[in-house]
Chain A
Amino acid sequence: MPRALSDALLAAALTAVLLTPIFGLHIRVDGVNVSLNRTPMPVIVAVVIVFLLRLFQQPLQRLWAKLRAPASWRENALTAALGQTVQQPRYRLALWLLLLAAAMIWPFTASRGAVDVMTLALIYVMLGLGLNIVVGFAGLLVLGYAAFYAVGAYTYAYLAQQYGLSFWWGLPLAGGLAALTGFLLGLPVLRLRGDYLAIVTLGFGEITRLLLNNLNSLTGGPDGIGNIPRPTLFGLEFNRVASEDGTAFHEFFGLDYSGNHGVIFMYLLGLALVLATLFVINRLLRMPLGRAWEALREDETACRSLGLNPTVIKLSALTLSAAFAGFAGAFFAARQGYINPESFTFIESAMVLAIVVLGGMGSQLGVMLAAVAITVLPELAREFNEYRMLAFGLVMVLMMMWRPQGLIPASRPPQKLPEHAEATQ
């Protein structure tokens, strides 16, 4: 008991030290006078709670263990059967198709705000899948992914503003230019190892953002670029009033104008882009190039000794990854209609990285789920204002503790050697 008591006292003292300057004292600046307000209540309450919890930690833990005892519910027969069913390729395909169908029908039943938030989530899905190539598959830590995203967004915005280029021309060009940026950055820096690569990409991300803010004649500086046209559906526009030589979607089909058409169209377009991204990445993963990425992640030395050129492999991963960021950027610019450098800060890179890690590195389904969760959760809690970001940070920490391998860890069925290979031994 004395041991528990001293522990509890220590914990209580620590709590007091931690909380007093933040919640117990409040700096008040009123005109030129600075004063300190004392608000001891929250601190006292917290200290008492910590003290009691710590004092009765052992009994509480025992109680908890008792409550948790019937834990076998997780492993019941039903879920096991379900699990096995899902594992079969045939059902797996069916499940994917079902999900896809749901994703396509959903926007017609949901509210506009929800569809719009999901569109944003789809952008993050694209970014997550793209970054997953370098971080998840090739095992390279990139902390400046927002730079490629920005290059894509600005390419489309600039071309649309200066040359009136449509989204369908802007999209490939944005991807292309972002890929080129990735390639040019990769050439000199990819020989750096591990965390140094991370720092250089971080620096590159910051430089890109600062240049976007400083090169006023090209990027509009802090004013950004506005009036970026939305994509059209075979030339049909989603505006209330069509431009001079265009036709509006609702006029063509004789519908009443509704902003929802445009929002749903953006969502479906985003969905199509995500599917295209998934398709391309999955094909690549089954090609020698994709295998080489993963081999490189597992063991660079072994790769080298097998005659694979690590620089080329890394470069291909970074270039491709940048290309997808470019596509996502162009789509983002089209959704916003207005971009400025504020949208491409370090936090953006960190968020995408968090998506990849939270989802489970290398796991595409996990990354997609995490992207949706990270976009949708803060949106749901919009009324809670500052508590929302507090909880968000906390969730990130807790997730890393409970599921460090991510929501859905990447799993790959082990490659079995052919039967006869074993027989010959």
Chain B
Amino acid sequence: MKTFSRHVLSAAVTTIILGLGSAAHAAEDTIKIALAGPTTGPVAQYGDMQMMGAKMAVEQINAKGGVNGKKLEAVVMDDACEPKQAVAVANQIVNQKIKFVIGHLCSGSTQPASKLYEDEGIFMITPAATNPAITQQKYKMVFRTIGTDDQQGPTAGRYIANKVKPKKLAIIHDKQQYGEGIAKEVDKTVKAAGITPVLFEGINKGQTDFSALITKMKKDGVDFVYYGGYHPELGLLLRQSREQGFDAKYMGPEGVGNKDISAIAGPASEGLLVTLPADFSADPANAELVKAFKAKNEDPTGPFVMPAYAGVQIIADSIKATKTEDAVKIADYVRKNSFQTPIGKVAFKENGDLKEFEFVVFNWHADATKTPVK
């Protein structure tokens, strides 16, 4: 009996492995776009923004008759923001002969995956990964519709140095690629302007208690805090600071510019400074689109929604214009032309970064609205 089950098992495993290979689909009457990002795991909520934006673009383009008579088809691929899974996803994409990718979301998973796309001639456009290293590899196939940490950091740093002029500045980050990257850029900029932060340290991702850190900053007389990271940790920091009577002003990058920060921090989120891409959902040109999202009960204000939408649109427009689905030619076309998208008129640099991506400093309010700082 023991040996029998052994045979059954090995047979089952073999079938499964062989099955993996034959998963490729036969029908090729659609243009497939892979949406690679996290739909599970702790950052799934950012993945949702990306999927929401990209799917909306696919739907709207299909409703207008698709591209060159073909419909677009979105294929969601979950990488859980794990580098290991990202490579597996990238290979799946190669496998299924998908030529266009919107993703990945986290810089850590974008980096290993982008090498594969480059080698295999797959067109990749990330709406969310902001680490400068991604486009420093001189890849031909890799683009992004979001600004980089070294664009955003200096914007914040200059604002702190020129406008705020804090007496004692603290820079906190979440020890993640995104948060620490941006915090370092801010650090560099303010130091160049002659301000030395009294504190530069990391917290742990998922940490909920910041009372010890707040006590320390309170004692050191810190009056301005820059936080590099995402909104849950900053929300808690704000809330606990207010609780402890530590009334320094806070500032953060677009990762914190999410309605949820007010849900967590409540009144403590009033007066928070945030560097954000210009608010695309407030742009009157996007009013129709915002309505479409609202009709589906979706929130278009997340930072990655519109960039993901723009990514799909750029792919569709390029296919239309070049009348080819050859990803290498598309990449070439994208590099040379500009596109009218919900994130404005976009054109790309040689390395795949946006030529212009403006970050604006906003004043955040307790009711989760924001106004640009003059």
User: Do A's and B's CB atoms come within 8 Å in the complex?
Assistant: yes
Residues of chain A having any CB pair with chain B under 8 Å? 29-32, 34, 74-75, 79, 82-83, 86-87, 106, 109-114, 116-118, 120, 210, 213-214, 221-224, 226-227, 239-240, 259, 263, 332, 335-340, 342-343, 369, 372-373, 376-377, 379-380, 382-383, 385-386, 388-389, 407-409
* Chain B residues with CB under 8 A of A32: 259, 262-263, 266, 366-368
Contact code string B61-104 (vs A, CB < 8 Å = 1, else 0): 00000000000000011100111100111011011100000000
Q: How long is the Cα–Cα vector from A263 to B7 in the complex, in angstroms?
A: 29
* Chain B residues with CB under 8 A of A377: 16
Contact between A338 and B111 (Cβ–Cβ < 8 Å)?
Answer: yes
* Chain A residues with CB under 8 A of B180: 221-223
Q: How long is the Cα–Cα vector from A109 to B111 in the complex, in angstroms?
A: 29
Query: B88: which of A221, A338, A379, A383 is its contact (CB, 8 Å)?
Result: A379
A32, A74, A214, A239 — which one has the most chain B CB atoms within 10 A of its CB? A32
Contact between A386 and B84 (Cβ–Cβ < 8 Å)?
Answer: no
* Chain A residues with CB under 8 A of B6: 408
- Name the residue on A nearest B366 (C-beta): A32
Contact between B20 and A223 (Cβ–Cβ < 8 Å)?
Answer: no
* Chain B residues with CB under 8 A of A386: 39-40, 44
We find that the number of chain B residues with CB closer than 8 angstroms to chain A is 62
Contact between A222 and B176 (Cβ–Cβ < 8 Å)?
Answer: yes
Q: How long is the Cα–Cα vector from A249 to B97 in the complex, in angstroms?
A: 23
Query: B119: which of A74, A79, A117, A240 is its contact (CB, 8 Å)?
Result: A240
Q: List 23 A-B contacts (CB under 8 A).
A: A31-B367, A32-B263, A74-B1, A82-B3, A87-B3, A106-B17, A111-B95, A112-B91, A112-B95, A113-B21, A117-B91, A222-B108, A223-B181, A336-B84, A337-B112, A337-B115, A338-B108, A340-B108, A376-B20, A377-B16, A380-B19, A386-B39, A388-B78
Contact between B13 and A372 (Cβ–Cβ < 8 Å)?
Answer: yes
Q: How long is the Cα–Cα vector from A135 to B60 in the complex, in angstroms?
A: 56
Contact between B95 and A214 (Cβ–Cβ < 8 Å)?
Answer: no
Q: Indicate whether B247 reaches chain A with its CB closer than 8 angstroms.
A: no
Contact between A114 and B87 (Cβ–Cβ < 8 Å)?
Answer: no
Q: Indicate whether B192 reaches chain A with its CB closer than 8 angstroms.
A: no
* Chain B residues with CB under 8 A of A332: 84
Residues of chain B having any CB pair with chain A under 8 Å? 1-4, 6-7, 9-10, 13, 16-24, 39-40, 44, 76-78, 81-84, 87-89, 91-92, 94-96, 108, 111-112, 115-116, 119-120, 131, 133, 137, 175-177, 180-181, 202, 204, 259-260, 262-263, 266, 299, 366-368
Query: A263: which of B20, B91, B115 is its contact (CB, 8 Å)?
Result: B91
Query: B87: which of A210, A335, A369 is its contact (CB, 8 Å)?
Result: A335
Contact between A342 and B20 (Cβ–Cβ < 8 Å)?
Answer: no
- Name the residue on A nearest B180 (C-beta): A222
- Once A32-B366, A380-B16, A386-B40 are accepted as A-B contacts, the answer to whether A112 and B94 lie under 8 Å apart by CB is yes
